[in-house]
Chains A and B, each alone.
Chain A
Amino acid sequence: MRTRTVLGFSEAWLAVKAVMAEAKVFPGRPIAVQVVDDHGDTLAFLCEAGVNVALARQNAFRKAFTSATMRVDTLAFADRFDGIKRTIADSGNLHFTHGGGGVVIKAADGAILGGIGVSGRPDGMEDERLAQAGLQALRDAGVAL
């Protein structure tokens, strides 16, 4: 048997709150934020009122899922397909997405702990800034690298 350290709910909730705090410092269109574990399964999720139901809620999950399972920030994910004449669609996974707002959570030893996904702002780089605030909170807490 083996054991493995995984992200817990209290860390996930800490990250969600940090993202929402940053969204107040840097206000804009309402967002959804999701934190998933290394399997891409939900630990915590939170929406602001009026968030775009059709897009933001789904994309917050997709960004978190893509980061956690592919071990890469969504901002850099599209680059993987450059130069190999393939697209994300060729991967055949409907949950994959790219662009700013999805960040991978890694432990000090490099193990994947999960992912944070933020969606709702008109520009992916705004989502990215909010997601990074969540990751920074986990760094400050000594959880993430």
Chain B
Amino acid sequence: MQQRTLLDADDCIRAIDRMLERVHVTAQAPMALVIVDQYGDPLAVANMDGTSPFVQDYARGKAYTAARMNADLADFAQQLQARGRSVREYADPHLVSAARGGVVVRTAGGAVVGGMGVSGSTPEQDEEVARIGAAALLEG
């Protein structure tokens, strides 16, 4: 048998609210925020007014990729580039090779509990908001 840590609704609400606060204050454009579990399945979705369908799907793709590949997208994209490989070689159509806005969420023990994906604004702001959300998730 094994024990698995799960993110709960309260964790997701705290993270989404913390991110929304930040978006309302600083972001240049509306954003889509997605939290997935360790399988890449959505736990929470927040599609703000004015986000395009592309942005909404992209946020989900970023969260999925971070959780599935157990890596922040910045590191994942860098590894791919360093090795001269393409994300498409993994033969998973849901993986994205964006370099910002996707953060893996791990417990203190290192177990993957999920992924945070943010899209809609500049790469830097996507990344900043995703990190705020990922940090808030682990406060519970």
Q: Which residues of B contact A23 (CB under 8 A)?
A: 9
Residue A44 interfacial (CB < 8 Å): yes
A-side interface residues, number (CB < 8 Å): 19
Given contact pairs A17-B13, A20-B13, A42-B56, A49 touches B7 in the complex (Cβ within 8 A) = yes
B residues whose Cβ falls under 8 Å from a Cβ of A: 6-9, 12-13, 16, 20, 39, 41-49, 53, 56
* Smallest beta-carbon distance B132→chain A, Å: 17
Q: Mark A27-63, 1 if CB is under 8 A from B, else 0.
A: 0000000000000011111111110010001000000
A49 to B8, CA, bound (A): 4
Q: Which residues of B contact A50 (CB under 8 A)?
A: 6
Q: Give A6's nearest chain B residue, CB to CB.
A: B49
Chain B binding site: helix, strand, loop or mixed by DSSP? mixed
Interface positions, chain A 6-20, Cβ under 8 Å from B, are 8-10, 13, 17, 20
Interface positions, chain A 57-97, Cβ under 8 Å from B, are 57
> Is the pair B6, A49 in contact by a Cβ cutoff of 8 Å?
yes
Q: Which residues of B contact A46 (CB under 8 A)?
A: 9, 12-13, 43-45
Given contact pairs A42-B56, A57-B41, A9 touches B47 in the complex (Cβ within 8 A) = yes
> Is the pair A45, B13 in contact by a Cβ cutoff of 8 Å?
no
Q: Which residues of B contact A8 (CB under 8 A)?
A: 49
Known: A45-B44, A53-B41. 11 other contacts (CB 8 A): A9-B49, A13-B20, A17-B13, A20-B13, A41-B53, A44-B45, A44-B46, A47-B44, A48-B8, A49-B7, A53-B39
28 contacts between A and B (CB under 8 A): A8-B49, A9-B46, A9-B47, A9-B48, A9-B49, A10-B49, A13-B16, A13-B20, A17-B13, A20-B13, A23-B9, A42-B47, A42-B56, A43-B47, A44-B47, A45-B44, A45-B45, A46-B9, A46-B12, A46-B13, A46-B43, A47-B42, A48-B8, A48-B9, A49-B6, A49-B7, A53-B39, A53-B41
Q: Give A33's nearest chain B residue, CB to CB.
A: B9
Given contact pairs A42-B56, A49-B8, A57 touches B48 in the complex (Cβ within 8 A) = no
* Smallest beta-carbon distance A12→chain B, Å: 8
A17 to B41, CA, bound (A): 20
> Is the pair A45, B42 in contact by a Cβ cutoff of 8 Å?
yes
Q: Which residues of A contact B20 (CB under 8 A)?
A: 13
Q: Which residues of A contact B43 (CB under 8 A)?
A: 46-47
> Is the pair B42, A57 in contact by a Cβ cutoff of 8 Å?
yes
